[in-house]
Amino acid sequence: MNNLLEGLNENQLKAVMTNDRPLRIIAGAGSGKTKVITTKIAYLINDLKIPSWKILAVTFTNKAAKEMKDRVQKILSNNEDRLFISTFHSFCTRVLREDFISANLEKNFLIIDTNDQQQIIKKIIKELNLNQDQDNRKLQRFIISRISYWKNHLISPQEARDEVFDPNERNAVKVYRVYQETLLTNNQVDFDDLQVKVYQMFNNNPEVLEKWRSRFEYVMVDEFQDTNELQFDLIKFLTKNKNNLTVVGDPDQTIYSWRGAQVNIILNFEKSYKNALTVVLDRNYRSTQQILDLANSFISHNKNREEKNIYTDNTNGEIVEVKEVATRYMEAKSVGAEIQELIKSKKYNYNDIFVLYRMNAWSQEFEKVFANLKIPFQLIGGIKFRERKVIKDAMAFLKVIAVKDNLSMERILHLTPKVGEVTIEKIISLANEHHLNILDLIINEDQSLINSITKNLDKLRTVLIEALKLYKLNSSLEELLKFVLVESGYENKVLLLDDDKDDIKNIYAFYDQLNKFDLDFNSETFGEENKLLAFLQEEALLSEEEDDLQPNKVTLLTIHAAKGLESKVVFIAGLNRDVFPSKLSMFTIAQLEEERRALYVALTRAKEKLYISYVKGEFSYISQGELGPSKFIGELNKNLYSLETNIFVHGDGVITSNKTIVSSRFENFNKNDSSKDYQKGDMVSHMIFGDGVVVKIVDQQLQIAFNNPKFGVMLIASSNPVLKKK
């Protein structure tokens, strides 16, 4: 442990060892945030002797939670498996599984995923006859968005009805009411409900709240800049009148307001916790100083932020390149040609390269050009494994067996030979008439009811009855699903129809996944004894996770999808007016600042080389006219990049252009000696922060008091190229 602490810089060490008051860690891009969090958890366990299960650490993706847990276990070297590191949704699920009665739920409630939610909403729209003269998918998205908003603002269907006047919103309220009744009837909850029901339970039941408050001696929140008010309220419930809280995040990377994230939550943290301390992690371990200079200068245009200057010891980088091209096709061609040169240099592989853009539609030209140039690439945002039809079908069988889910049973009926749409409607009506779910109707000992509609369910009935026996015995998931898919004839049907064998491979891959879950299953970890219920819970919580990156391919992805990732080479494409920032973001200063933060995130993904491009002159329906440079191009410091214009990529791949390095500041950059002869009392000038005086020297870091009170005293590397003696 002591050796590990010695590897931390001064601010990281302070962040790890401050545990007697609420702590806000402002973690700049690439500043070793995960290292600090995981080291702090290990420090709490190893040095402060806090039991691992008494520490709650929450983050926003299962992938991040798993990485944190793996790194803590590696640090402690003791195979600690009782770490409570999870997402907000997983934590709330654990609370509801344990205290379901206080949340007015039945024990084996089902968490529906996004696809289930869409199907339910689609059905309700049809029942209420609301889809006249409207795009049904667009209407679904609007209604789902409004329901999520109302839930996260704790607005019931009745309250929503009283506050809306717009006809579309009135329709959304009607769907909201029926949707909530449907979930209640079927013992289901959606993603928003997980957090809302825990909030309501904590707010209305002091005994339950006190149980969970006393369970945790320390609470940590990762990616705190992405929290919404509801999530922050949950944290405040757990830490009220305590000093046991650390939050970690970067206000300059708040780019998810459309999910409810509010930058002011992290900015105003010290108003909620009066005795809080703030530690800024401003030393970057990812990017070159040239990249950071451009990013620091650019984000300073935002006013609603925490001032900080990210620096690095890595000063041997190259100047950022900005390229102006005539068409979107030529933009993709020039990026493709540059990638080919990078690969020829033997310094980079394809998987060292990201191409980022603000909107998914911008990828089209890159996909076509890269295919023609035979540049291997992956497009993040394609069909995910769990979204494939055969996996959805398999999941339907599992949901029916575990929780008698009607929506899944309808899906299975659609897969059953000689059972058509009319028959299914009759089955649903009969089940409703007798107050049964569809599964109980089908497997009922008295077959006269179901036989009055169809006699084509005998085989399915037998399979489901036997599968329920396996479920009650808590059999292995692989055994259970294989039995169902083989005996029902589903697997054989797939084999007959699957010409390219992709579907059957996906089923086999699913068997592998279930087998792994069987081997790794631990009832204490999931708070659930039954394997199948635990698996369905885990799958629902994973349903919106990001795609995994594949080996040795250029990655095409949106800036929002790239958050948390990094790459040696980054191309930022489409920095155009009305594209980035988007036209819709120009209405308010807050929206514009979020777009600026998005570009800051993109800039700081690059480790070694950064390219930015925009189109000038081509007509676009996006801007209803000729494309031109984004206002953000004008906000980039002209002294910190080179500019190429009139770019043309010839048939042989040769690029011709006019190239201008606006500043010669980098000509002798690599000759810059990081051990400049600074002394205490020296007057200095900083390109961004202005004039100041050196008040202290710590190794190669200068503590400088700037004349501008807005910046105050800051710690800056003596090798920083934007700093000079006066």
Taking only the tens place, the pLDDT of each residue in 73-97 is 888 876 566 788 889 998 999 999 9
Q: Is 635 a catalytic residue?
A: no
- Is residue 172 marked as binding? no
- Is residue 561 marked as binding? no
Q: What is the mean pLDDT of the chain?
A: 84
Q: Is 387 a catalytic residue?
A: no
208-232: burial string, b at 16+ Cβ within 10 Å, e else: bbeebbeebebbbbbbbbbbbbbbb
Q: Is 118 a catalytic residue?
A: no
- Is residue 32 marked as binding? yes
**Set 39, 87, 253, 604: catalytic member:** 253
**Set 113, 169, 190, 223: catalytic member:** 223
**Set 71, 605, 607, 609: catalytic member:** 605
Q: Is 411 a catalytic residue?
A: no
- Is residue 276 marked as binding? no
* Fold of domain 404-541: PCRA; domain 4 (1.10.486)
**Set 14, 21, 34, 80: catalytic member:** 34
530 falls in which pLDDT band (50, 70, 90)?
Answer: confident
Stated length of the chain: 726
List Cα–Cα distances, 716 to 211, 308, 407, in angstroms: 46, 10, 59
* 405-446 residue pLDDT tens: 988 999 999 988 888 888 998 998 888 888 888 999 998 888
The fraction of the chain above a pLDDT of 70, given in percent, is: 88
253: closest CA among 273, 235, 268, 267?
267
- Tell me phi and psi for residue 383, to 5 degrees: -70, 120
Q: Is 222 a catalytic residue?
A: yes
**Set 33, 531, 596, 609: catalytic member:** 33
Tally of CB atoms within 10 A around 475: 16
- Is residue 31 marked as binding? yes
Q: Is 605 a catalytic residue?
A: yes
- Is residue 29 marked as binding? yes
Q: 10-98+196-283 sits in which CATH class? A: alpha beta
CATH 1.10.3720.10, applies to 110-186:
no
Alpha helix positions (H), 2-130: 2-6, 10-17, 33-46, 62-76, 88-98, 114-127
Find the angle CA(64)-CA(276)-CA(297) to the nearest 5 degrees: 65
- Is residue 34 marked as binding? yes
Give CA–CA dist 431/414, Å, rounded. 16
* 356-391 residue pLDDT tens: 998 877 887 888 888 888 999 888 865 556 777 888
* 47-65 residue pLDDT tens: 888 888 899 999 888 888 8
96: closest CA among 114, 113, 82, 109?
109
- Domain 292-384+549-661 architecture: 3-Layer(aba) Sandwich (3.40)
Range from 287-291, 370-374, 587-591 carrying the lowest mean pLDDT: 587-591
- Is residue 33 marked as binding? yes
* 108-147 residue pLDDT tens: 898 988 888 888 998 898 888 876 555 577 788 888 988 9
